[in-house]
Structure 1
Amino acid sequence: MSNLGNKIAWFYRRASVMPLREFVLRLARFLRDVTTYFLIKYVGETQPNIFFKNNLKKKSFFFDFENSGVEWFLPEKYRKACILEADSSLRHQFSFFELKNHYFGTVIQWNYDYKNNIQSSLQYAPFLALRSFRNISDIKYVFEHNKHQDLPRLAQAYLITKNRQYLDELISRVDSWIDQCPFMFGVQWASPSVSAYRLISWTITFDLLSGCDAFSEPFFERWARSVYQHIYFVSKNYSLFSSAGNHLISEATGVFVASLRWQEFFSGRERDFLDRASKQAFSILLEAMGSQFFSDGVNREQAVSYHVFSCNQMFLSYWVGLKSGISFPASFGDRLRRAGEFLKTILNANDMPPNYGDEDSAWAFRLAADDSNKFINLLDILSVLFNDSSLVFRGTLSETAYWFFGARAAENNQLIDDKSLPAVRNGALEENYYPEGGYYVATFDRGTNKEAFFFLDCGPLGMDSTGSHGHADALSFCMSLGGVKVFIDSGTYVYKDTRERQRLRSTSAHNTLYFSDIKNQDEYLGPFLWGERHLASGHVVKPGSFFAEVKWYSGETHCRETMIEHNLITFTDHWCGTSLPSIAFHLNPQLQEFVRQVQSDCISIETDEFCCRVYARDQHIRLKKTLVSPVFYQLTETSKLEIRPAMVKGTQITEISWEFK
């Protein structure tokens, strides 16, 4: 199909999930953007008035480190890590996605794709053909360093060392961004979500430094003016209707947090606008907590990475709101807490979850090393927020918790140190089922080096309108032994509409049953778009027994009975389709060297820590090579175990057993 044909087909599919009100909204915004273009071109840009205060100090959202001293509350290992990262940032060496310590030049080019060496044009943002740019470049490489999530690290390094070079670099970076990215021109004004990430980074950075007399009046006024423009742009371009999801949460968080922090520097109509913007954002956040999180705490994106991402945004809004004297309904904090409890439940002994759904390594905001565990990072801040040490397992709290809570983090850390490990090697089975989110979790000896962890998905696809970040993975499972992942989710790789993107989201790329002539349980329409969906459900039959079923959008059915005993899981799969099925098991690439075929019906994975065997009753198990994506932008070869019953309707029993050494 020609490029024009592809574009027409994509627009048709995208329009098919949009309600009439969304068409009206998009048309209204288009007409507004055209009008704004001519106003800027012929009348000029309206400049908000800034009220500069000689003392910018206001009670911070963060711990009062100015009076207490960073060295008093922040553990030394975190101080060293922060300085190390900030020094790399000073040298303009950055690492994200496939770029490792990549030098960005003497002056950072903010509209440049450093991976593909392509400069984006400085056209009026609403008229930019972003889809055409994506065909020759990768917009994520442009957007990533424009989130400015390294700026808080420079501010933190300055607070730790009082070395002026960190502050000068921070100021220079903001100045150069404003120079290169004039309001409403260029790719940086094309995405309200990315603008919101930047707004959050700027606000956190400013708040960290607000008591340091760090900024000159000309720079501050220039920065505050750009902040106002960001708030205006994001609040006028919220991702609504079929575009809502984590984008809307991020945008509302950016507007809410920034409006509350910066509004004291504006007066008159600008102050009135920021007050209205914060109230609108607050209303959106309250509604989103109910509409984007199930009551059992599971995020509706059906992707663990976005669960954590959205929780972090909700936490930041909640914390800044409370610090600003805003009251939240009790249900908001309760659901946020439940989201944390769900996350804790799905972490294995190495503090890692099954990587279900899309994952792109994104942070909502970052006050810790970029290679730190973002799952533990979230649980740590929630544990201190709710004064609940049961939300974390063990060890020192993350750096982020110390920056927000200071002495409270230290006190909570003592509670954690005083706790014994959450499980004893007594062989006890712990089960949790989340009926709305559709996840069943079972563990033996939780939290120990003999832990057996099992996770099964029997939930919906994703957000109601588009499905966006969900995968066609109903009745798929993941498993780890002693914290080592054995059977894994295949991952994401990229967000472009490539063959690999399509394959990794398909049912055949997950640990479940699929049919030979049908790729998906759900109708694939695009890289973030699903059409007709599967219907799935599950229930606990009795302790150690779980039943789940799925009806494909095309009519095929699959039921999976799971029996869990100590050292043994038994699957009984029933299916009815129009073509032959395959039952797949995707192996962790790190275990490839340990896998061998014992018999035609048995596969063994034996390491120094455990021996795991997969046995297919009355069927052969085939080993084949495939590609999975453990990390975004990375493909790795691994082994895929396949069982291929020669019946379009039938039953297959498969056993997974294990022994620890």
Structure 2
Amino acid sequence: MSFSAGIPAYTSWLEGSRFKFLNQEKDFSGAVPWDFDGHGRLWTYNLNYFEYLLQPGLSKEQGLKLINGFLDDWENLHTGIEPFPTSLRIVSWVKFLAEHQIGDERIQRFLWLQIEVLSDNLEYHLLGNHLLENGFALLFGAAWFSDSGIYRKAKGILAPELAEQILPDGGHFERSPMYHCLILNRLLDAIHLLKNNPTVPGRELLPLFQRKATSMVGWLREMQFANGELPLFNDSARGVAPAPSQLLAYAKRLDISGTKTNLEESGYRMIRRKNYELAIDAGDVGPDYIPGHAHSDTLSFELHIRQQPFIIDPGISTYEKNERRQWERSTAAHNTVQLGALEQTEVWGGFRVAGRAHARILEESEFEIRATHDGYRRIGARHERTFQFDDTRILIIDEVKGGGKHAAKARFHFHPSVNATLKNFTVETDFWSLHFAGAEKVEVLEYECGGEYNKLTSAKKLVVNFRQTLQTTIYK
């Protein structure tokens, strides 16, 4: 079996036993403690993914030393041998072994053991991207060992899960652009595997993989800003998934061109005008049975002016179950409207959701989108937001309907590069200005912007108090 490099991994192995994941570096100065938890669980997971085997400049000898170091300690591990890191490690090892044509007997035995253990511990209790990664790991394992039984398990996961998880408009059903890119990368790897190894089990899945990848590439093209970035809706951060440009180039090498798509089922819309790009979140927060990566961000938006980020989603900086994680998922962390201290969608516990908002687009044309959600139904209220747009102006009309009069706040989070000056009910910036009609009070406040793991940058935000209706004009 052969597998030449796909998209190179981010450089995370620095030398010896020194690693850097999620903007946090650690030098173990000796044997690697693979269950190290000093930087949080996600850091430990990344250490055990072994994706650094595919980073530029890492030699065959260096990779084998890292693998054998893991084998020396595997009987003492707990976190590192959970199903999810095991899945990503299987794929990483198979790609590395295939690229260097390594047939080491000890590694082979343990790789097979990992595949068998994974096949008996599939993450049906978590579903979503976890179960897909389980399936792809079994596919790569089946290909490496030419095992039809493991392949049947892989097919039993991948065929139905891809059918469900990739929406008709091409978006991944968890509505995270970051996870969309991660799943697309894995799908392209699977196409690469099957196209270049015609005798391995799984060729019958190739047409399905190609159809889904074509759809996902179309969605990615539609959602991408002109500067190459993606909106950081829901659980999204930079520096984790491959960049859109890398994915599009990889797809092209595999003859996946992508179809022109109309954003529908994912609930996102991208408005492009001469001077700006406006990404709108007017869909549900995610599938009802797996909302772990959802945020309370219904009817939020991101705005780029002349290819520069202006009003942004602050993104995420942690997966730890702490105050920062809670804020990053909250209504207050997004460019939408909050009634009192209520959440549109009740996020809690790091990856949990209780009551959630359901969104509906009421009208849509070339010049307007009007949408509503029911996240405040428990107090008999409904938020309706209308976007009207031409080349030099965006008008946002927020209306709180039903349930009497409520104290409402609209928030607008600026990119860290934006300076803002308040003059009465107008905010002037280096880009465009914002004027608020119907506001009772406008404040320019500081906030800590995420967007990368374990990295916060000071930025400005606007908090606008109003009662029933607010008209926000963003103009040149």
* TM-score, scaled to structure 2: 0.91
- Which residue number corresponds to residue 656 of structure 1? 474
Amino acid at match of 1:141: W
Residue of structure 2 in register with 1:223 after alignment: 107
CA distance in 2, matches of 1:639, 1:261: 52
Which position in structure 2 is the counterpart of 1:548? 371
Matching residue within 93, 104, 110 for 2:28 = 104
Cα distance change on mapping 1:522 and 1:85 into 2, 3 Å: closer
| Residue 246 (structure 2) aligns with | 377
Q: CA deviation at 1:515?
A: 0.9
Q: Relative to 1, partners in 2 of residues 1:540 and 1:315: Cα closer, same or farther, differing over 3 Å?
A: farther
Q: 1:453 aligns with which of 249, 263, 277?
A: 277
Rate the CA distance shift 1:631–1:362 in 2: closer, same or farther, 3 A: closer
1:482 to 2:306 alignment: yes
**Post-superposition offset of 1:390:** 8.8
Amino acid at match of 2:365: K
**Structure of larger gyration radius:** 1
1:129 — aligned with what? none
Say which of 356, 360, 384 aligns to 1:533.
356
Alignment correspondent of 1:170: 63
Native 8 Å contact 1:630 1:636 kept in 2 = no
SS at match of 1:225: helix
Contact 1:359 1:632 in 2 (8 A): no
Computed over aligned residues only, the root mean square deviation of the Cα atoms, in angstroms, reads: 2.6
CA deviation vs aligned residue, 1:222-243 (integer Å, no higher than 9, x gap) = 10111111111211111115x1
Distance 1:351 1:534 in 2: 30
Aligned residue runs from structure 1 range 16-27, under 5 A: none
Q: 1:433 Cα shift?
A: 5.2
Aligned to 1:342: 219
CA contact (8 A) 2:215 2:259 kept: no
SS in 2 for 1:478: strand
CA contact (8 A) 2:448 2:458 kept: yes
Distance 1:377 1:439 in 2: 22
| Alpha-carbon spacing, 1:550–1:556, altered in 2? closer, same or farther (3 Å) | same
Higher helix share: 1
Counting only pairs closer than 5 Å after superposition, residues 100-179 of structure 1 correspond to structure 2 as 100=25, 102-113=26-37, 116=38, 138-153=40-55, 157=57, 166-179=59-72
1:589 aligns with 2:413: no
Letter in structure 2 aligned against 1:251: N
In structure 2, relative to structure 1, the CA distance for the partners of 1:433 and 1:167 (3 Å cut) is closer
Shift of 1:331: 4.9
Offset at residue 629 of structure 1 (A): 1.1
Shift of 1:387: 5.0
CA distance in 2, matches of 1:387, 1:256: 20
- The answer as to whether partners of 2:135 and 2:158 remain within 8 angstroms in 1 is yes
Task: Verify the 8 A CA contact 2:34 2:77 in the aligned structure 1.
Answer: no
SS at match of 1:635: strand
Q: In 2, Cα distance between the equivalents of 1:331 and 1:389?
A: 14
Q: Deviations over 1:350-380 (max 9, x none)?
A: 100111111356757xxxxxxxx52221121
**AA aligned opposite 1:581:** A
The answer on whether the counterparts of 2:339 and 2:407 sit within 8 Å (CA) in structure 1 is yes
SS in 2 for 1:590: coil
User: Of 44, 65, 85, which residue of structure 2 is paired with 1:194?
Assistant: 85
Q: Per the alignment, do residues 320 and 507 of structure 1 end up closer, same or farther by CA in structure 2, a change over 3 Å counting?
A: same
Whether contact under 8 Å (2:450, 2:456) holds in the other structure is yes
Bigger share in strand: 2
Once structures 1 and 2 are overlaid, which stretch shifts more, 540-549 or 475-484?
540-549
3-state DSSP of counterpart to 2:432: strand
Report if aligned partners of 1:435, 1:538 keep a CA contact under 8 Å in 2. no
One-letter amino acid of the structure 1 residue matched with residue 48 of structure 2 = N
1:462 matched residue in structure 2: 286
Q: Secondary structure at the match of 1:358?
A: coil
User: Shift of the alpha carbon at 1:503?
Assistant: 1.4
Aligned counterparts of 1:480 and 1:306: Cα–Cα separation in 2 = 22
User: What does 1:66-81 correspond to in 2, within 5 Å?
Assistant: none
SS state at 2:63 partner: helix
Matched, 1:181 2:74: yes
1:257 paired to 2:140 = yes
| Per-residue deviation, 1:317 | 2.2
The answer as to whether partners of 1:433 and 1:441 remain within 8 angstroms in 2 is no
1:315 pairs, out of 188, 193, 197, with 188
**Could you tell me which amino acid in structure 2 is paired with residue 454 of structure 1?**
L
SS at 1:629 equivalent = strand
Instruction: Indicate the residue corresponding to 1:644 in structure 2.
Output: 465
Matching residue's letter, 2:78: G
2:20 aligned partner? 95
Q: Distance in 1 between matches of 2:243 and 2:117?
A: 29
Amino acid corresponding to residue 43 of structure 2 in structure 1? Y
User: Unaligned 5+ residue runs, structure 2?
Assistant: none
Match of 1:605 in 2: 429
1:249·1:314 contact (CA, 8 Å) conserved in 2?
A: no
Residues 601 and 618 in structure 1, CA contact (< 8 A), matched pair in contact too:
no
Q: Which residue number corresponds to residue 426 of structure 1?
A: none
Counterparts in 2 of 1:542 and 1:188: CA distance versus 1, 3 Å: closer
Helix, strand or coil at the partner of 2:385: strand
Q: Find the aligned partners of 1:467 and 1:181 in 2 and give their Cα distance.
A: 33
Amino acid corresponding to residue 176 of structure 1 in structure 2: G
Aligned residue in 2 for 1:437: 266
CA deviation string 1:293-315 (max 9, x = no partner)? 11111111111111111111222
* Contact persistence 1:626–1:637 (CA under 8 A): yes
Q: Deviation at 1:143?
A: 1.8
Quick check: 454-463 or 315-324, which moved more? 315-324
Task: Kindly indicate whether the alpha-carbon contact (under 8 Å) linking 1:466 and 1:528 is maintained by their aligned counterparts in 2.
Answer: no
Equivalence for 2:446: 625
Q: How far apart in 1 are the matches of 2:396 and 2:248?
A: 32
Instruction: Tell me, in whole angstroms, the C-alpha distance in 2 between the residues paired with 1:623 and 1:301.
Output: 33
- Could you tell me how far 1:504 is from its partner in structure 2? 1.2
Q: Offset at 1:289?
A: 1.1
TM norm structure 1? 0.66
